[in-house]
Amino acid sequence: MSEPKDLLKIMGVNITITWTDGRSEQLMDLPEDVSKVLEDYLTHLETEVAHEHAMKYGEYFDNRPY
């Protein structure tokens, strides 16, 4: 892992659905209300990971929006 000064960021997301018949497909477009919830969740996840990463190195990270 990098040092705490290098905040970890999500660089991409891939949503793949698999049907009961074994076919898989990637979702390329989400409705705005769904994408907003997903974006909020991923921002929260980034913040939590950054906090845990900083704590590992004995730093204090207090930028949690939740």
Distance of CA 62 to the CA centre of its chain: 18
Distance between first and last Cα of the chain: 25
Within 8 A by CB and 6+ apart from 21, the residues are: none
Specify the pLDDT at position 39: 94
Specify the pLDDT at position 3: 55
Segments in the chain below pLDDT 50? 1, 66
Report d(CA 28, CA 35) in Å as an integer.
11
Specify the pLDDT at position 66: 47
Confirm if 26 and 16 have CB atoms less than 8 A apart: yes
